[in-house]
Amino acid sequence: MTNTSEVLMIKEAFLALNVKKINQINNIVKGNSKPKPHIQMTTKGPSRKQVIIPMSSDNISVFMKNLSLHITNINRQLQNTKSEVLVDYIRSDLLGITIITNNRVSQQSDLLIIDQYVKNSNDINALQVEEPRLPKSKSYLKIISILFYPHDNSQEHLTSSNIETVLKQNQIFNNITLVSKPRVIKVSSKSDMSIVWLDIWDVQSGSNAKMLINRCFNVRRHIATIQKANMNPGVP
């Protein structure tokens, strides 16, 4: 709440100011200026009480035909190992199947059982079945101070593939997995610099991203810096 006497003092000192500017100055003096916007860097991610198995469309069609049998067999094998995990139901999408479990998160031993069962099922092409995985969160980062035209005497601009190569060569990105290809955007039409947006797989605490924030690395002779970014920046 603005004190009347304080407003009058500011008005006397700055005769040309309007009411809005006077209130802004008064808020700054009182330390009531607007806080910096919060950057939501990491998604919470879906429940981990499910197992995701990417596979080919042909495998999906075959596996989904005998769901009751598969659920019974998987649960029997899990119980044989004294696991507390049980399968409630299975659903599919365009990328694979998702096994929904009871109120337990699958351990590595559970994932191994499920993996072996799915790959050994009748008419399933095991080469087109990826490893079972638990859902993860995503974190969003950006890399600044990289030239948009990194090659000397060339108008060939920076590409996603260039960035992927750089990341693979740098030890600070060890054990970091990209959700999708990096997105390269020119800062402005008059600038020769770019911003690179990165989406990485993470845990809900955002620990993978936190290890990278404010880290620097070389891109040729320039030094690039990693910063946190809001969710879903740029164009996918």
Least confident among 14-23, 73-82, 87-96, 145-154 = 14-23
152 pLDDT above the threshold of 90: no
Give the pLDDT score at 42: 78
User: Contact at 8 Å (CB) between 119 and 112?
Assistant: no
- 223 vs 232: CA distance, rounded Å: 25
- 140 vs 41: CA distance, rounded Å: 5
Question: Predicted confidence band at 234 (pLDDT cuts at 50, 70, 90)?
Answer: very low
- Tell me the fold of 137-228: Alpha-Beta Plaits (3.30.70)
Domain residues of the chain, as ranges?
A: 1-34, 50-128, 137-228
Give the pLDDT score at 1: 47
Kindly report the pTM of this predicted structure: 0.57
Convert the pLDDT of each residue in 167-199 to its tens digit: 999 999 998 888 888 999 999 888 889 999 999
Average pLDDT rounded to a whole number, residues 56-80: 96
Q: What secondary structure does DSSP assign to 133-196, as a single string?
A: B---EEEEEEEEEEESS-STT------HHHHHHHHHH-GGGTT--BSS--EEEES-TT-SEEEE
Give the pLDDT score at 236: 40
